[in-house]
Amino acid sequence: MGVDPLKEAGRLGKEALEAVEDLGEETLEAVEDLGKGVVEGIRRLTHLHLPMRKGERPLKRSKTGYETELFLLDGNGDVTDAAAFIAEGKRRGIEVTTEAMRSVVEVLCMPHHRHQSVSAQLVENLTRLSEIAAKDGKALYPYATYPGSHPISIYKTPRYLTLRRQLGRENFENGMRCCGYHQHYTLPRGLFDHSHKRLRVTSRSKLNRTLLDSYNFLTAATPAITCLMQSSPYLGGRRMGKDARMIVREGDGALSGFRHSMYARHPALSTFGPYRHTVADLRAEMDGRYEEWELLVRRSGKEGDLLSPEKRLSYNWGPLKINPLGTLEYRAPDMTMMSTVIAVSTMVKFSLRKIQQDFALVTPLDIGVDDAFRLEGNMLFIPPYSTVRERLWRASAYEGFESRQLRRYVRRLYRFSRDEIRRFDPEYLPLLNAARKIIGDERTASDRIVHEARKAGCADAPTQEFSREHALRHADLFLKDLRRTRALLAKAEGKEE
């Protein structure tokens, strides 16, 4: 009797199905085992290289501090020597010191945990100095460059003489025409070797990660911050753009197109560098910069104490540096009205607090400006470095709020920091008023200065007459702004004046 083909086909099909099912179960078990291994591997890598998020103690709160630089004016509105004025300020117990330029006054404020306290101290120091100057027929000019021309006279120390010789006199003097604002933020404890003045490379991933995330955040935020604080459309009587200081201080001038930038011959000394992903890379960059400085000093033949390894961190004039004090020093912005300084420094303070207290992971991503500084879970997204450097940096230096892309970028940073202030300490929100007004009006100090020069008929090349009148008027506005800002800080502290 023959085999029924239908029954035989059914039998074979059943056996095949059972085999497939057996194979499927074995495959599924293998995949599950593999998946568990992958998850465990990721968990271990995450534990090694990224800070834990839940239930982990935050780092100690960092201290913040300031440096501000201002030109001293005589009674006619011309830039004048400040040596005797600085000595008088010191005699009265004010934290004031010299800079390279004899006409520049540097006002310091030591780092403090409480942002309002350090801000109030800075405002008080500047108010007292402005009042001392007024009684002596002088004034403090609040912006980063003086519109007209003025003589360049430096303190003849080995450091400054070496820089002038090696950078080239014209390049060096262009840099001397600029005043800046620096904000300090202390490094996570354990990352800085105070005895040798050097960054430590540790195995403590939480410390490494927060330093790198803070560094990369500030790099990404630079075009927005410099746009808000720009106050230097002119350099030595010549219109440069919206931020002459940024143009002059940029490494080799490749982005700005300005051949006589201060560090054109030695761009490594002042580089707007890329994002950093390891502390070892960051330290290697510092060592390379010191080697560049060492070469310059040896070439000058005047070594003295300029090659002390403990001072290796002093020889960085870029927008962002690790300072020998053990701080992350942000040096990019122009000096400007104190209400704007306090507004922007508050934005920076709370943005970095989000990174160092909540361990937000700063993550470069292929995104446009409309998604910049977007927070998803605990990841804070920033655009590619190429976008920041090649598009936004140039827009900030030359266009300011005339750039639609930069306008959106500034608003993204402002909204992110404002939301963090609302969550952490809403009493700080009124300190953002000046930044909010600049964004709403789409007019920076540079825009206002150019507008005034245009009305005077000298928008491209301000005359000395205009420069003197403008400087004295804005010095008076600076003192009024200081007093308003002091009252605003007192109100935020709950201490009405």
Candidates 3.30.590.20, 3.40.50.40, 3.20.20.140, 3.40.50.300; correct CATH number of 64-492? 3.30.590.20
Q: What pLDDT sits at residue 186?
A: 87
Q: What pLDDT sits at residue 187?
A: 87
Helix (H) or strand (E) segment spanning residue 361: strand 361-364
Angle between helices 205-229 and 338-357 (to 10 degrees): 160
pLDDT above 90 for 184: yes
pLDDT above 80 for 1: no
Each residue's pLDDT tens digit, 161-180: 999 999 999 999 999 999 99
pTM to 2 decimals?
A: 0.86
pLDDT tier at 98 (50, 70, 90 boundaries)?
very high
Mean pLDDT of the 197-214 span: 86
Q: What pLDDT sits at residue 246?
A: 93
Least confident range of 157-171, 181-195, 225-239, 346-360: 181-195
Q: What pLDDT sits at residue 30?
A: 47
What DSSP character marks residue 334? Answer: B
pLDDT above 90 for 201: no
As a whole-number percent, the residues of the chain with pLDDT over 70 amount to 84
pLDDT above 90 for 20: no
Mean pLDDT of the 66-71 span: 96
Pairing label, strands 238-239, 139-141? unpaired
Q: What pLDDT sits at residue 12?
A: 57
Q: What pLDDT sits at residue 36?
A: 47
Q: What pLDDT sits at residue 41?
A: 47
Burial class (CB in 10 A: 0-12, 13-18, 19+), 79: buried
Report residue 253 as tokens.
């001038």
Each residue's pLDDT tens digit, 291-310: 888 888 888 777 667 777 77
For the chain, the average pLDDT equals 87
CA dihedral 327, 423, 225, 179 (to 10 degrees): -50
Q: What pLDDT sits at residue 253?
A: 64
Q: What pLDDT sits at residue 31?
A: 41
Burial class (CB in 10 A: 0-12, 13-18, 19+), 490: middle
Instruction: Say how many residues make up the chain.
Output: 497
pLDDT above 70 for 43: no
pLDDT above 80 for 486: yes
Least confident range of 109-113, 384-388, 485-489: 109-113
Q: What pLDDT sits at residue 56?
A: 53
Mean pLDDT of the 446-470 span: 98
pLDDT above 90 for 34: no
Each residue's pLDDT tens digit, 415-440: 999 999 999 899 999 999 999 999 99
Question: Between 483 and 192, whose confidence is greater?
Answer: 483
